[in-house]
Structure 1
Amino acid sequence: MQERDLMDARAFAGGVPHDYFRHLRDRPGLTRAHDAEGYPFWYLVRHADVVRASRDHDTFRSGPSTMTSVRQDSTGLPLISFLDAPEHTRLRKLAFKGFTPARLAALDKPVAAIVDRILDDCADAGAFDLAEDLAMQLPLEVLTELIGVPPDERAQVVEWTRHTVNLGDPDYHHSTPEKAVAAFGNLMAYFEELLGRRRAAPADDLFSVLLAAGNDTSGRLEPREIALFATTLMGAGSETTYCSVTGGVLALLDHPGQLAALRADRTLIPLAVEEIIRWVTPATHFARQVARDTEIAGQPVRAGERVVLWYTSANRDESAFDRPERFDVGRQPNPHISFGGGGPHVCIGRGLATLELRLLLAALIDRLPRLELTGTPVRSITNFMNSFRHMPARFT
């Protein structure tokens, strides 16, 4: 098979090149490659190798960046996903207090109401963009609910966040780098001001929980740390759901037999959510830095080198999944690693993302047979997120 440059976003213009990833999995050892700036990498494409690198954080480190280019952190701020222990452990332990099962369970009714209203708005509009009007709007509104943004201030927070999201595709949004930086700054300033209000008058929301967290040896979160966490959560927390909704709806429309099975047996919804997340694999990859000499798939890997964890390949690995090329809403077992392959950097928002998808799927199942795509979905030109810029649709 002809070699492809997976660091070139154009390799994903027609969708994830699953045939090439299968070729790499079948090839012995590891594949060596370079990114656009000349940084060398080893590709990890097999399920077992990605899981191992995810869980062995003493050998495979996140700092200074989990992006394939160490120059891609433009904020200059300590993003939690770019940190290693002990600082990462401290921040994650404190932040998780806002994502406990009890707190997520309390979101069921508010999120269901958001889902119903957005779907009604899309149906009433006639023609709508399933990507922008549903897949992106849903997580943004849910996150403002979780954080505790007052209802009359949510539209502005959502608008600022839309300017910071690009899904790894600089042409995704009608924005500019300057507007994105300004929007990021506006969000930081807003959340720091909101924290002041919550300190004076606590409420039943994420900010109040994070302000109160840290009565043990882990210490407290500083206001700027909470504001940065909220700002990055608004962007990164919306991207996973966005990709899963667009890709999941397409999968159900392309597999009417699976949609029929789901409508006939709604107890399959939790399994269907996990299958959609596996099938789509929203974030295709992250990078790790090798801290000490090791060996992977018989290939010596030296300290100071870097590896790319290709989740999108691992989730189609025949050694880990039965018929991985089949979309199966009843798939069991389903050891997908779309939120990370275990270890300390598993996505902290996994529970929230699956909650959103579960409630959306429950509300959308009966409407899907009436959903009609009115044009060809436009893919994002990126090798980082499996996403679409636009998906024109209507309910007939």
Structure 2
Amino acid sequence: MSSTSIDLFDPDIQRCPWEAYRSLRKNAPIYRMEPSGIYLITSYALCEEVIRQPDLFISGVSPMALRPGGVPEEVLRQYTDHGWLPRASCSTSDPPEHTRVRDFLQPLFTAKRIRAYEPRIREIAESLAGQLKPGMSEDFVALFSHPLPMQVIADLLGVPDGDLGQFKVWSDAIVEPFSMMISEAREVECAALVVEMQHYFKNLLEQRLAEPQDDMLTEVAQAGEGNDGFNLEEQLTILTIDLLASGNETTTAAISSGMHLLCQSPDLVGELQGSPDKLRNFCEEAMRLESPAQGMFRQVTRKTELGGVTLNEGDLLNLRFGAANRDESRYDRSEELVLDRPKPGQHLAFGTGRHVCVGAALARAEMQLAFQALLQRFNRFELAPDHEPPAITPSFFGRNIECLHIIAT
């Protein structure tokens, strides 16, 4: 594939971007993609160089605003007339806003706190694994990889179990616009759904202020008090984007991709069952190879040079974590799942530096406990022969398997 013709907005390339990434790393690791003008950064070293300079390459870029014409007026009206205009999320903001939100979020996801919650994650994983019928063709995404992180984050937030079905609709409505590949009509529809969710959480925040509980909703509600507290727009952004959407969509993608890898390499199941200590390495390698967040934006704040290429103020970069994580100059056998890889957690699936994923410890725990439960119950996983190969949701941002029909025995 010629690097002069690569357009990552092409769904056909997104289904299997690895050849395109190889070509870019070899021929043009800093590649200006036309007609968008976005620079794709595909080598590990160059991504790391950008991340090390967060004030030169800032994160305050809204993917939704990059579409031609910007955010549609009707989308803005949905928020301003019926709800609250979302603020920049933790991952798409810069200091001082970023620092303020991150300082609130970090204590919610400490290693100590996640360890204390692991028995509940294990309970959810074992319950969902028990619902998979041996020998039957079933959609793994619908039955396992989507409900697990959704139940976990809903449980941590403290929302009623009966509302989980609606959470899927709302969560999709938050994430889809970030794909940069949906119609304007769908974008308006998504905005209306997000407004529904805003009112839902506003009511819960008011309830928690009146009757505090031991959950994250109470902590967000109480963080809105005082002169320095978060206003309602900020509270709703933290709940809907930083906690709900960020807390389940990428984890769902990671678990789905991990199962797809097990189906493609049946010998891995026996190896992991025989050496349970390798399960952590399997999860890290699955995240490295598949990178649920394929790319994140940065914007140049002043004229500079990167890898011999001159960049001007305002230029947009997209750090392609999915390409950097398979960089042959960084990893031996870079496109293989290697269970005994030294330091398996050294990848960019969670980002690094100032914007490293604040929920990484929770995502890792969910993924490891998910596969632990599955490997204890089943000895083999295969793709169901009566279904098409797994479809990838068209998205410039993420890599999500829409459905994954498997047979577990």
Q: What TM-score, normalized to structure 1?
A: 0.88
Relative distance call for 1:279 and 1:94 in structure 2 (3 A) is same
Give me the CA root mean square deviation.
Answer: 2.8
Equivalent residues in 2 for 1:1-396, closer than 5 Å? 1-2=1-2, 3-16=4-17, 18-27=18-27, 30-34=30-34, 38-65=35-62, 69=66, 71=70, 76-80=85-89, 81-123=91-133, 126-166=136-176, 168=179, 176-213=186-223, 219-232=228-241, 233-334=243-344, 335-340=346-351, 342-374=352-384, 375=387, 376-396=389-409
> What whole-Å deviation, never above 9, does each CA across 1:167-214 have from its counterpart, x for those lacking one?
838689xx9445422221121111111111111222221122334459
- Look up the equivalent residue of 2:47 and give its one-letter code: V
Relative distance call for 1:64 and 1:278 in structure 2 (3 A) is closer
The sequence identity of aligned pairs, in percent, is 27
- Look up the equivalent residue of 2:51 and give its one-letter code: S
- Look up the equivalent residue of 1:12 and give its one-letter code: I
Asked if the contact 2:63–2:180 (Cα under 8 Å) also holds between the matched residues in 1, the reply is: no
In 1, Cα distance between the equivalents of 2:136 and 2:124?
19
Query: 1:384 is paired with a residue of what secondary structure?
Result: coil
Asked if the contact 1:41–1:307 (Cα under 8 Å) also holds between the matched residues in 2, the reply is: yes
Asked if the contact 2:224–2:235 (Cα under 8 Å) also holds between the matched residues in 1, the reply is: no
In 2, Cα distance between the equivalents of 1:245 and 1:193?
32
> What whole-Å deviation, never above 9, does each CA across 1:60-81 have from its counterpart, x for those lacking one?
0122425692636966421223
Relative distance call for 1:124 and 1:146 in structure 2 (3 A) is farther
Report which stretch shifted further, 370-379 or 348-357.
370-379
- Look up the equivalent residue of 1:96 and give its one-letter code: Q
Give, in angstroms, the shift of residue 148 of structure 1. 1.0
Asked if the contact 1:29–1:299 (Cα under 8 Å) also holds between the matched residues in 2, the reply is: no
Query: 2:376 is paired with a residue of what secondary structure?
Result: coil
Give the corresponding residue for 2:82: none
Structure 1, unmatched stretches of 5+, are none
- More helix, by proportion: 2
In 1, Cα distance between the equivalents of 2:278 and 2:210?
45
In 1, Cα distance between the equivalents of 2:14 and 2:220?
40
Asked if the contact 2:139–2:405 (Cα under 8 Å) also holds between the matched residues in 1, the reply is: yes
Query: 1:202 is paired with a residue of what secondary structure?
Result: coil
Q: How many equivalent pairs are there?
A: 388
Structure 2, unmatched stretches of 5+, are 80-84
Relative distance call for 1:9 and 1:106 in structure 2 (3 A) is farther
